[in-house]
Amino acid sequence: MARTVWDSTVGKKTVMAVSGLVMLLYLVAHMIGNLKIFFGTEEFNHYAHWLRTVGEPFMHYEWTLWLIRVVLVVAVVAHAVSAYQLSRRDIKARPSKYVHRKKRASYATRTMRWGGIILALFIVWHILDLTTGTVHHGGFETGKPYQNVVDTFSTWYGNAIYIVAVLAVGLHIRHGFWSAAQTLGAGSRTRDRVLKTTANVLALLLTIGFVAVPVGVMTGVVS
């Protein structure tokens, strides 16, 4: 049954919708956590340490954090694979390009695929920068996330990469949230306006919330 569902277009869209919502929940929580940087070094570093001790003593040190990471990896892979396969299926169904583009297709809709690629590349860079410290500027300091964040956003390329990725996230959510709601059967004539408004508000709040951190470093509010 699972294979039958996965092989169907509806099944792939459902997997894409559910995995997308999982990642959206993570983004909301991640943004709220990021904003703690405006409360100072001690507050932010304490929050980062707390993430590693959630669930203790029942859960061992970092077990909860690793569980979250595994869920996110599964969600990202499921989302990417289903998106790719749906894209290939769409191309095979329509081998010739449209002569005219749909007038009502939004910018976010037309750039969903490129946005997904940008986000995939950003995730890799973000992990190498602030998790492993492999490409980190200024010397990565384990246990000092506040200083690591300040180091990253003290460079022009760190800000550029992050802000471009965040804008891609905003566009992705703006279209993706509404699309997921339709796939999961939440859409209707009476609810479509509310869903679209919710998608726009979520995209705007997340974009502003994430961009606030590099802007805070650039302006000296966070230093």
79-132 confidence digits (pLDDT tens)? 999 988 888 887 777 655 555 555 445 555 566 777 788 888 999 999 999 999
Whole-number pLDDT of residue 156: 93
Q: What is the DSSP letter of 39?
A: G
Question: Taking all residues of the chain, what is their mean pLDDT, rounded to a whole number?
Answer: 87
Distance CA 167, CA 163 (A): 6
Conformational region of residue 2, where left means phi above 0, alpha means psi within -120 to 50, and beta covers everything else? alpha
pLDDT tier for residue 72 given thresholds of 50, 70 and 90: very high
Can you state the angle between helices 63-93 and 112-130, rounded to 10 degrees? 160
Encoding tokens for residue 199?
């998608």
Q: What is the pLDDT of residues 54-63, one digit of tens each?
A: 999 999 999 9
Cβ neighbours, 10 Å, residue 142:
7
SS3 category, 98:
coil
Q: What is the pLDDT of residues 26-56, one digit of tens each?
A: 999 999 999 999 999 999 999 999 999 999 9
Whole-number pLDDT of residue 43: 95
Whole-number pLDDT of residue 95: 59
* pLDDT of 134 above 70: yes
Whole-number pLDDT of residue 179: 85
**pLDDT higher at 171 or 103:** 171
Greatest pairwise CA separation for the chain in angstroms: 62
pTM: predicted TM-score of the whole model, two decimal places: 0.87
Encoding tokens for residue 23?
């990642």
pLDDT tier for residue 210 given thresholds of 50, 70 and 90: very high
Range with lowest mean pLDDT among 59-63, 136-140, 187-191: 187-191
Q: What is the DSSP letter of 119?
A: H
Cβ neighbours, 10 Å, residue 181:
21
Q: Taking residues 198-210, what's their average pLDDT? A: 94
Whole-number pLDDT of residue 111: 67
Q: What are phi and psi of 196, to 5 degrees?
A: -65, -40
Cβ atoms of 222 and 150 within 8 Å: the answer is: yes
**Rounded to an integer, what is the distance from CA 60 to the centroid of its chain?**
27
Whole-number pLDDT of residue 107: 55
Cβ atoms of 171 and 208 within 8 Å: the answer is: no
Number of helices (H), then strands (E), in the chain: 9, 0
Distance CA 19, CA 24 (A): 9
Whole-number pLDDT of residue 154: 93
Conformational region of residue 222, where left means phi above 0, alpha means psi within -120 to 50, and beta covers everything else? beta
Cβ atoms of 52 and 62 within 8 Å: the answer is: yes
Whole-number pLDDT of residue 18: 93
